[in-house]
Structure 1
């Protein structure tokens, strides 16, 4: 059992157990004793250049191109099977019996069923289609005249389409497009060539006639235009001369009228000038008389005002002196007040500026200290994080401390301190035997029965006495978290001597 799926341009034709005829679908389960065949539904072009004969027994070549393919829209009952593919259980139960004899794809699949080879099937289908096209086209052409074929091209195309489609329906095929090309002469016929030559000669002669008519109309029209132009020019010149004479007469009348008007105007101007002169002289006498009267009145008023002006001047002088003294006192007081105010304002402004400067400096110092503390805190945090990562990488705080002591040279400093402490002294050498032969008094092992575990145990048993010796000789106490507490009593046996043996501490 397998599940088959067709390509977008394909369908599946399934036959066999539980299927009456043929099941056409896009996808389905194929069971044992069932056969599945794929077939394409793409349309194909069938081009033919057939020789036909009209009703008048005129032979010609008819080039046609038909685009034909399976009718995928006429599905019948199989369309429901395509939309809702049956489940595998339905095949087993035998419930799928919805094949439809009216299905176009079923007809097409049964047409291709005779040939197992795809190429042979395509050739077989092409022969059938071309035979139908050729037969129906020749039958139709034989019932029409050449003139009908030419003048009723669309009707001819529709009749071919209808007749051929009726024959193709029984195979589930559909004409998607039909194209009838230009008709041509057969091998021994010159009909279309004669028609073309006749049309060409007729068109040429008509063109020559049209050219001659056009030239005649052009020449006559040109002469008429020239005569009309000359008549219009003469008419315009005559009208211009008449208008010029009328304008000269009008100009003479205007000049005479202008002269008369100038004479009248000069007379009126002279009369008006004389009247104006007389009126000016009379007005001048009246003005002189009024001036004399006003001059006498002004002299009288001047004499009366002399004494009044003197008294007024004396009084105003005294008043001005008093006002000047008062103004000086007021100005002096105002100056003193402004001076005092300016001094006070200057002192206050200076105090304010000093306070603002001190406040700004204090704020800047505080901000700088804050930034410094923040940077120190960030540095400490970063250093702590780095130490924590180093501690994780080195296996814990102990590993980190050992790394730092090695990095900073602590062990070297300890060695130097020990060397300085025993410089010039008789070094105290301590030898411990912690192995299996500790009781023999020998400082070396036999090297035969001791394994790696015993070696490590001897090293760790050596540490407590070593710490005691370092403390006794140098006064330095190593960290308890690194080497443990100092032993209250010695676990290992110690032999103090000044002979050979491994030197644990001291100067050789």
Structure 2
């Protein structure tokens, strides 16, 4: 049930919207909608109010009740009208033809707009232009009949103003507005305008000839006067020029002398100023050098202080810390050793007695061995000692040459006899061994060997 009701409501809403859209009429700003069918009140320019059976909508749009109101459109744009008046009598009785043009539109004032709707709604734009043309033509003929040909020809603006003023009331009653009106051309079939022009042309030519003669005369007179004035002015100007030249030269000489004096003063002042600047520059240079040296000394002092702090931080403090650490470690080690010593003292005392007895026995044995060895040495002769030393000579020579055996590579710089010199040096060292033995033991190996050889013989 609710869905059906909802559908009905939607259908009614759609129907109302479609009906509103179909009956909503719109026009541009240059058109007016005339909706007939309902009563409205209109206020006339004189203040009276009256009821009419229609309403107006200028531009835009409005909703039109279906089956009750009808809609018509009336244009509000400007219409151009050309008005021709053939064979019109002027105030002098001269027959002329005139042609003018104007611009007309429906009035924008609400009261006048109602009048225009009531007068031209069914006739449209053609009816507006036709009626406006007829009104302008009548007013134009009336104005032409009150003016002469000369006035019409020379005072076209006044003629157009007369026509506009005369037609204003008519257009107001019609609901129209005359925007512009001007006379375009006039002509006649009897040659009046041409004759008028010929006479005027003759008068103009005569006046021109007289004016030319007068102008030539005046020009000659003025030319002579101007030449005289020109010569006088030229001579006066030349005199003034010569005087001005003289004054100028005098002034220039004076100025030049003053300039030279000022220039000399300026040169002297420049030299003095340059000397002062040079002196000031040297003083500044010395000051800069002194400041640089003072700054360098300060930098050196700061660098020395920095290095002292750096040495103190990197050497002295770590060394003191290490010394303190070593001291603590040494004290700890001494204390530990003291404890170990106290612990071992008892064992040492026990071992001491046994070792003393063993040492006593060992000493007695060693003493006996030494006494026997001393007796054996006493029995040794010099020959035995020499033989003993000779047996040790090969070991001594091997000890001398042993460092060369451990050398991996020898680079010889100089002549090619370096190798023989090296071996010669080794042999020389070995040859010095008998002298060394003699100095150490007092044995002369050469004499012992010689005696041994003599004994064999």
TM class by shorter chain equals 0.3 to 0.5
Larger % of helix: which?
2
- Please report the TM-score for the alignment, with normalisation by the length of structure 1: 0.38
Larger % of strand: which?
2
